[in-house]
Chains A and B, each alone.
Chain A
Amino acid sequence: MDHLIGLVGDGYALVAADRKVAHSIIAVKHDEDKILKLDGSKLLGCVGELGDTKNFSEFIQKNMALYALQNGTELSTHAAAHFIRGEISYALRRSPKLCNMVLVGYDKDVGPSLYHTDYLGGMHKMNFGGHGYGSFFAVSLLDRLWKPNMSLDEGIALMKQVFVEINTRFLVGGSTFTLKVVDKDGVRTIDLGDDEMKA
């Protein structure tokens, strides 16, 4: 099962996802990127039903690109989150999209923010959150260790603790992770030394 976690810090937001793609008992891939760059200041981690995840997240991404071209300005994180939630909600009793998401974004006036959405269209703005079995371990740790306005280094260190915990205690081990950050300078991937996070 996919692990998806995100947290908000001082002027930045982090989102991390594991890289495994599984079909039944076979691990098909170990280097899948489950976090999509929606635009210059937003990242969408999207896990769940394969096919839905790719299709829905790209649908959102292209609609946001169209909005920016038509109106000369990007959507705010708040607007993007509600747009996403609305699409999930609309499709729910027609052709449901099984997507669990963590949206992180940075706005000049608001700073970093994180929106946690489930496949039923339930959405909340939060300081940290996640989906999947990994989130049980992650959220427990973050409940204890997260505090407001952590520096980027502190945030990354905390995420690494989460990765170690998942690899130690989750039944299916050997997960590698993609970690991405969004801040005033935009979106980038953080290079992780894999060997640090094995159980």
Chain B
Amino acid sequence: MARRYDQSTTTFSPEGRLHQVEYAIEAINNAGTCVGLLCTDGIVLTAERRVVSKLLAPSKTSEKTYTIDDHVVALVAGLTADANILINQSRLGSQRHMYKYQEPMPVEQVVKSVCNYKQAYTQYGGLRPFGTAFLFAGWDAVHGFQLYQTDPSGNYSGWKATVIGQNNQAGKSILKTDYKTENKVEDNLKVAVKILLKTMDSSTPSPERIELSTIRRNEDTQQIEHYTLSDAEVGALIEDIQAEIEKEQKKEQASTGDI
């Protein structure tokens, strides 16, 4: 039944659905997981980098984390080529605002402008929607630290913590138990890596498959600092968490041993 109404983005199905948009959203559920966590003093961002082949030249630029402006960073899940167009649009939007008002564009407005651009592809032109979802993270003077999720429909929502991409349901359930709004960046680094370890389908997690970064604001210089953790730092966190997981498992085994 859906087959007749899913060829074109500009057609509603009889149930009132836009199938092309829904299929686009499906494309993201197979993409590398992205996690964003709001902290009292900043934001923690992490993503699974899918390394397809050892022959691939190590990329100097990231395929998951992008700088939109000094105060806004985006994580990508989905079609990289589609993402590049939208990343550029959001950069353009941010600079145009800066040119017009000589002030950084508030984070929500950056997100809104990209989303309005995405929405057009669900309503007219006969072009397919973008197969990408984003986590936009940043700071502005209006609302402080913020985290937003966007999807191919052009919808966006603000989050305290969220997961997109592969196994995001598993990730979200870990958030329910482990994420605390009063956590600082330091505490949430562990939570973020723990989620990735559980959602990644690799049994041998290594730092090169994980992009981990933090956004903080330096009170003295009033600058936003986007810091990417080194392989060594990520490796140390992975070890810590694996040790914790082992301890938990041993506890469970020990407790079930008692009658």
A contacts, CB < 8 Å to B? 71, 73, 75-76, 78-79, 82-83, 86, 109
Does residue B129 face the partner (Cβ distance < 8 Å to A)? no
Shortest CB-to-CB span from B93 to chain A, Å, is: 13
Whether B100 contacts A83 by the Cβ 8 Å rule is yes
B103 interface contact, C-beta 8 A: yes
The answer to whether A82 touches B101 (Cβ under 8 A) is yes
A75 / chain B contacts, CB cutoff of 8 Å: 101
Chain B interface residues (CB < 8 Å from chain A): 99-103, 106, 108-109, 141-142
In the assembly, what is the distance between CA of A82 and CA of B142, in Å? 19
Contact A71 B109, beta carbon cutoff 8 Å: yes
- Interface contact tally, CB-CB below 8 A: 22
Residue of A nearest to B105 (CB): A71
Please, how many angstroms separate the alpha-carbon atoms of A79 and B99 in the complex?
10
- Known A-B contacts: A76-B103, A82-B100, A86-B99. Give 15 more (CB < 8 A): A71-B108, A71-B109, A73-B106, A75-B101, A78-B101, A78-B102, A78-B103, A79-B101, A79-B102, A82-B102, A82-B103, A83-B100, A83-B101, A86-B100, A109-B141
- In the complex, residue of chain A having the shortest beta-carbon distance to the beta carbon of B108: A71
Report A-chain residues with C-beta under 8 Å of the C-beta of B103: 76, 78-79, 82
Contact (Cβ within 8 A) A71 B106: yes
The residue in chain B whose Cβ has the minimal distance to the Cβ of A80 is: B101
Measured between beta carbons, the chain A residues less than 8 angstroms from B102 are 78-79, 82
Alpha-carbon distance between A75 and B99 when the two chains are bound, in angstroms: 14
Report Cα–Cα, A82/B99, bound state, in Å. 9
In the complex, which residues of chain B have a beta carbon less than 8 angstroms from the beta carbon of A73? 106, 142
- Tell me the nearest residue of chain B to A90, going by C-beta: B100
